[in-house]
Structure 1
Amino acid sequence: MELRKFIKQLRRYQKGTTNETEKAIIEAWYDSYEGENEKQVLSAEERERVRNAIHANISESIHINKSTPSLWFNYRIAASVLLLCSLSSLIYFLLRPATPVPETYTTLRTLNGEVRKLTLPDSSVIWLNAQSQVRIPSNFDKDIRQVYLDEGEAFFEVKHNTHKPFRVVTAPLQVQVLGTSFNINAYHSLPHVKITVVTGKVGVSKGAKLLSFLTLGHELTYVTNKGTFEKKEVDASQSQSWKDGDTYLNRVKFEELSLVFKNLYGLTLKAGNQRVHDYLFSLRIKRDMPASETLKLISAIHNAHFRKEGTNVIIY
């Protein structure tokens, strides 16, 4: 298009007197400066800002001097170049993608033998077992009250709110409730994740797939490497008794017994032979019981023996 004609169209555009064809041509010219960014539609307010900027640039850059026609042509060329550069910069500034604000978290961790209690902004309560970590995002109390159990075991007492569901994310599962209490055991060293409901009702999902709803006294065990799960009825009170100092183990494998023992005492249990490794263990371990007394209790279950080697304890 001839430059002189295009500038006239720009003047009519700033005054709002262009016809539909001219308006479409000029706005298509605006769009050509979006580069590699996705096309974005200007709001009415943003269009007004662009129109005002055009008006300001034309008013400042084009000075009509009818007594010097020879200079007028040079002024028009210079003003057109300046106008193109100014508009390009302005449109890029208005349409550039917004820089996302990174999410921030409050992180709580526990050590061996440590149990901690955390009260959330909505008055919900989290009890965190030993060697565990939970993260609470800065925007926790928005449409969905979401927390992350990154490692370990936690008991949740959720304040009821029908308008804001409460969600716990613990790889690879999500647990969502409105108001209830439940326990999640998700230590990375174990091959499973266990979710036990003490009061109310929870929904357990993996990604977008709902696995099951759980109610009082029901427990879901998800086998991580197989992607399978099973439900059963349990004594729900035992699943949360660890926060009061008692840990109940019901026919657990040696790996889980070793994890609990290390969380309590900082010592590592090792099976001295395959027979001990294959045993199942059922017992109650009290937090205030000395490690030596607990070892005697463990050994007596299968008439085994133990010896200590540094921070390791061998059961044989």
Structure 2
Amino acid sequence: MQSDKNTKRIIELYFGKSFSNYSRILFGRWLRSNHDALYKTELLEEEWNQSPSVVTDATRRDWELLHKLLSREQTRKKYFIFNTKWMRYAALIVMLLVPSSIIYWLVDQSASARYAELTEVFVPFGERRMVTLPDGSEVWLNAGSLLIYPKDYENSASRIVYLTGEASFSVYKNPEKPFIVKTTYFDVQALGTVFTVESYPEDSCTLATLEEGRVQVTVKGEGQRSSILKPDQQLVYWHQTNEVKILSVDASLYKMERSGYLVFENSPFSQIVASLERKFNVTMHYNSQKYAVEYYNVKFAPDESLDQVLEVLHQLIGINYKRKGDVVFIN
């Protein structure tokens, strides 16, 4: 049952929103994996029934190309169930997921990844999870995060994982196979190190914070830039302005977060709210204009309840709030 809920949440995340080509490719790789294949088909049917999409000549051409590539891939290895029912989703998948410029990459024709069986781990709001990768590296996934990685790295030149959300990595050292975390806006490469990456689709920036070792962060897009981080440094990439900043931080705070603490240093109210929503699986309504210019320092213990956290914010910031089940109103 929990697996079904996770699958539905992933599909809800990627439909009905504007995502980058990279995010669509990542979703496509997850979609074509064997895991929960039948349930994915049922959820796609629901999306189709609710979609106003119109099939055009361009849609048909793109679908025929996608179908041809997927069919050819299946002759090598079955990744997911593909039958006549999928034809009903042509407009939905092609128009919302795979513009013609990236159809080729959806089926991932690269020799290094062609036969790799992928594993996906999704952590719902209100939960955290620790994952051990095939090479022994450890990943602490925060709430609302999706991690995708190969089931083994035996036939690959590097160790690549794909992240949407927030995760801390303790990387097993292997100089012969670089460890790379791919997100929508930048890639983080490490040999043996401990670092955290935050890349939630709804956030205004993507962050990489280094605790130990050495990492290289490469920002994608026009004017691709690479930066080397030292311990206690954080790279912030602002999506709208394409701006990159490297800040000095106390990276030991991330060790506390892996133990369940919520720690905010000079953080905007919007960041605090987003973190609380993910941790407690609630929705919080507030006047974003009222708190737009204020920054706060606050720490919450792992065993503090939502009501206790709200009371702390009442004492610290002066907020007034009302809670109705899993919805909180702040004024």
TM tier, smaller:
0.5 to 0.7
Amino acid paired to 2:247 = K
Aligned to 1:193: 206
Matched, 1:257 2:295: no
Q: Give the Å deviation of 1:253.
A: 1.8
Is 2:218–2:226's contact at 8 Å kept on the other side of the alignment?
yes
Amino acid paired to 2:229 = L
Aligned to 1:313: 328
Matched, 1:178 2:191: yes
Amino acid paired to 1:203 = Q
Aligned to 2:249: 234
Moved more, 239-248 or 126-135: 239-248
- The counterpart of 2:232, out of the listed 205, 208, 217, is 217
Is 2:270–2:288's contact at 8 Å kept on the other side of the alignment?
no
- The counterpart of 1:204, out of the listed 217, 232, 245, is 217
Q: Counterparts in 2 of 1:77-226, with a 5 A limit?
A: 101=114, 103-138=116-151, 140-141=153-154, 142-149=156-163, 151-207=164-220, 209-226=224-241
Aligned to 1:75: none
The structure with more radius of gyration: 1
Q: Give the Å deviation of 1:215.
A: 1.1
Q: Give the Å deviation of 1:274.
A: 3.2
Q: Which runs of 5+ in 2 are unaligned?
A: 1-108
Q: Give the Å deviation of 1:104.
A: 3.2
Is 1:112–1:263's contact at 8 Å kept on the other side of the alignment?
yes
Amino acid paired to 2:211 = V
CA distance in 1, matches of 2:291, 2:326: 19
Question: Which SS does the other structure have where 1:205 is aligned?
Answer: strand
Question: Which SS does the other structure have where 1:190 is aligned?
Answer: coil
CA distance in 1, matches of 2:315, 2:122: 34
Amino acid paired to 2:190 = V
CA distance in 1, matches of 2:320, 2:281: 20
CA distance in 1, matches of 2:123, 2:272: 19
Is 1:194–1:221's contact at 8 Å kept on the other side of the alignment?
yes
Q: Give the Å deviation of 1:144.
A: 0.5
Moved more, 263-272 or 225-234: 263-272
Aligned to 1:65: none
Deviations 1:226-269 (A, max 9, x none): 21110111100112422201111112222211111111111222
CA distance in 1, matches of 2:217, 2:275: 25
Is 2:135–2:153's contact at 8 Å kept on the other side of the alignment?
no
Is 1:198–1:217's contact at 8 Å kept on the other side of the alignment?
yes
How has the CA–CA distance of structure 1 residues 161 and 103 changed in structure 2, closer, same or farther, with 3 Å as cutoff? closer
Is 1:281–1:301's contact at 8 Å kept on the other side of the alignment?
no
Question: Which SS does the other structure have where 2:315 is aligned?
Answer: helix
Q: Give the Å deviation of 1:278.
A: 4.0
Question: Which SS does the other structure have where 1:161 is aligned?
Answer: coil
**TM-score, normalised relative to structure 2:** 0.62
How has the CA–CA distance of structure 1 residues 121 and 139 changed in structure 2, closer, same or farther, with 3 Å as cutoff? closer
Moved more, 202-211 or 215-224: 202-211
Q: Give the Å deviation of 1:307.
A: 1.1
How has the CA–CA distance of structure 1 residues 160 and 295 changed in structure 2, closer, same or farther, with 3 Å as cutoff? same
Percent of residue pairs identical: 27
Q: Give the Å deviation of 1:272.
A: 4.2
CA distance in 2, matches of 1:264, 1:287: 10
Is 1:129–1:242's contact at 8 Å kept on the other side of the alignment?
no
Is 1:131–1:263's contact at 8 Å kept on the other side of the alignment?
yes
Is 1:258–1:270's contact at 8 Å kept on the other side of the alignment?
no
Q: Give the Å deviation of 1:138.
A: 4.2
Q: Give the Å deviation of 1:139.
A: 5.2
Q: Stretches of 4+ moved more than 4 A in 1?
A: 98-103
**TM-score, normalised relative to structure 1:** 0.64
Matched, 1:294 2:283: no
Amino acid paired to 2:153 = F
Question: Which SS does the other structure have where 2:290 is aligned?
Answer: helix
Question: Which SS does the other structure have where 2:311 is aligned?
Answer: helix
Q: Give the Å deviation of 1:119.
A: 1.1
Aligned to 2:297: 282
Q: Which runs of 5+ in 1 are unaligned?
A: 1-97
